[in-house]
Amino acid sequence: MALIGAAHGGAWPVKPGSGKATLGASYLPAESYSNPVGRLRTYGMRQFGLSTYGETGLSPKVAMGWNWGFFKGVFSDSADGIGATDPELSLSWHAGRWGKTFFALQAIVQIPLGPSTPAGVPEGAPAFFSHRVLSFELHPVAGWSGGSWWLQGGLGGRARTGELAWQGRYALAAGKRLSDRFAAMLAMDGVVPLDDRASGKRGDQEGYYGWHLAMEFRIKGDWWAGTQFDSMLDKGREMPIGPRLNVYSRIGW
């Protein structure tokens, strides 16, 4: 649900050997979740997480990205758990440009290494750590930059094993450099299940529609710190309904 945590970096090429890495912390309180058909159910949850994500250039046209929540603590009305989320790895091929617009194709794989949801969690409630399936996504993306503004959008599809519905995924973001030391971003993204024939497996009908607001401050050189607010609208499926607060620090090289 956090755009800053996307495994893929962007439409712009990354010079070989250069890149950026981010360390983030998040907190999400929720008093309800949406079940597989989108109906709200009362269920208290508190989620705390630490994650890392970033990208590095492998060649003039190819970059590698990663996204991993290496610590997550969930405390709910029926069960508690501490573990890690499934890591995501990506390869981005930067296809070219047209004027100030850049185009890329991203391939993202999510590896089921996180632990299963503890026993006692209601059916249809969000997975605590992992859906325990392998997923693969192709995600075309385009980005434009001019002056102090930038825009980026992408639309792709994710295939999942384990009888979980395949997903359509989209993201749209706009950012502005406010000064030499401050920048801001407003974004929206979503996930839509492509098959509504529920299999009964946890996460089968997972989906959400959310928006994100971020502010960044340059500490020194390519070292930045920021905060992001994530809000998921109440049309989600199998997701906690609540805001998420993030703080992060990013370094470039």
Q: What is the pLDDT of residues 184-225, one digit of tens each?
A: 999 999 999 999 888 889 999 999 889 999 999 999 999 999
Residues 6+ away with beta carbon under 8 Å from 36: 124, 198, 204, 205, 237, 238
Tokens representing 245 are 């607060």
Decide if pLDDT at 253 tops 80: yes
Q: What is the number of other CB atoms lying within 10 angstroms of the CB of residue 63?
A: 27
Give mean pLDDT, residues 219-237.
88
Residue pair 250/231 in contact (Cβ under 8 Å)? The answer is no
Decide if pLDDT at 47 tops 60: yes
Residues 6+ away with beta carbon under 8 Å from 224: 216, 217, 218, 249, 250, 251
User: What is the Cα–Cα distance from 167 to 150, expressed in whole angstroms?
Assistant: 27
Residue pair 187/215 in contact (Cβ under 8 Å)? The answer is no
Confidence class of residue 9 from pLDDT cuts 50, 70 and 90? low
Would you kindly state where each structural domain of the chain is located, as residue ranges?
3-252
Please provide the average confidence, as pLDDT, over all residues in the chain: 92
The string of DSSP letters for the chain reads --GGG-SS--SS---BT-EEEEEEEEEEEEEEEE-TTS-EEEEEEEEEEEEEEEEEESSSSEEEEEEEEEEEEEEESS-EEEE-PPPEEEEEEEEEEETTEEEEEEEEEE---SPPPPTTPPTTSPPSS-----EEEEEEEEEEEETTEEEEEEEEEEEESTTPPPEEEEEEEEEEE-SSSEEEEEEEEEEEES--S--S-TTTT-BEEEEEEEEEEEEETTEEEEEEEEEE-TT-BSEEESEEEEEEEEEE-
Confidence class of residue 234 from pLDDT cuts 50, 70 and 90? low
Tell if the pTM clears 0.85, that is, is over it.
yes
Q: What is the pLDDT of residues 56-67, one digit of tens each?
A: 999 999 999 999
> Options 3.60.110.10, 3.60.20.10, 3.40.50.970, 2.40.160.40; which CATH number does 3-252 get?
2.40.160.40
